[in-house]
Amino acid sequence: MKQVDGVILDWAGTTVDFGCFAPVLVFLQIFKTAGIDVTMAEARAPMGLLKKDHIRAMLQMPRIAKLWEEKKGRSFCEQDIDELYASFEPALLASLTEYTQPLPEVIETMKILRESGLKIGSTTGYTDVMMTIVTAGAKDKGYEPDFWITPDSTAGYGRPYPYMIFRNIEVLRLAAPWTVVKVGDTAADIKEGIQAGVWTVGVVVGSSQMGLSQAEFEGLSAAEKTRVIMNTEQAFLDYGADFTIKTMQELPELIERINMLIRQGKRPCRLERN
């Protein structure tokens, strides 16, 4: 009987960069430079998408679209997206080395998973150029998956398209979508996993969905932590996730649970939720 043979992880907000702040801060910056004040929530909402798609999604938000028309005297166009992205990329590249610290328990959990015989893949909303910085920094600090891929290698089709996950399955020689677990911290991660037909898991603490820095989270009272965790878990379930985990430390136990479901003939199923 087959069981889970691979885990595919997101990067910022899941395995590195607690709170996924590297891209968020730059999105705030480039829109402010263009004369548009966007909120942290607006900047986070499309997180996980290819970054140019992320900018497009922000410009399509009713409040931002209205502000853009008031400021520019017209609706946004593709040239505006290109110009914003032209500002975004160098600003992000200049800061990425500061955001490659693995989240707590990630390195230890990867060791446990590998000792269990699992392959470790990854997908991202970053580009190849961005990932050369992120992967090098993470490797220096002890985290390195077996494979990573960006939308640059799937003709620009990033999340929620499933193609990056399919490439992981191919390269890592994983048995089937239902023997794969995708872990991420955004709506786009969950939708990517759903589209690929794999088990999807939202990781809560350190996620972009939670939206707190490590210091902010640790400064919460026990009651506040409980509330924030519950709200984040519910958001992932609303997106269609099969499961949630508070931190990576819970992943090996969850995989054992999924293996039991597989032995019972269960498969990822979300038709009831959609």
Question: Is-contact 136 142, C-beta < 8 A?
Answer: no
Binding residue per annotation — 10?
A: yes
Burial 114-133 (b: 16+ CB within 10 A, else e): eeeebbbbbbbbbbeebbeb
Distances (CA, A) of 212 to 25, 51, 77: 13, 21, 32
10 is a catalytic site residue? yes
2 is a catalytic site residue? no
Name every residue whose Cβ is closer than 8 Å to that of residue 126 and which is 6 or more positions away in sequence: 11, 12, 51, 134, 150
Catalytic residue among 17, 51, 189, 191: 51
Catalytic residue among 5, 10, 17, 189: 10
Binding residue per annotation — 185?
A: yes
Angle between helices 163-171 and 187-196 (to 10 degrees): 60
Annotated binding site for Mg(2+): 10, 12, 185
Annotated binding site: 10, 12, 185
Annotated catalytic sites, by residue?
Answer: 10, 51
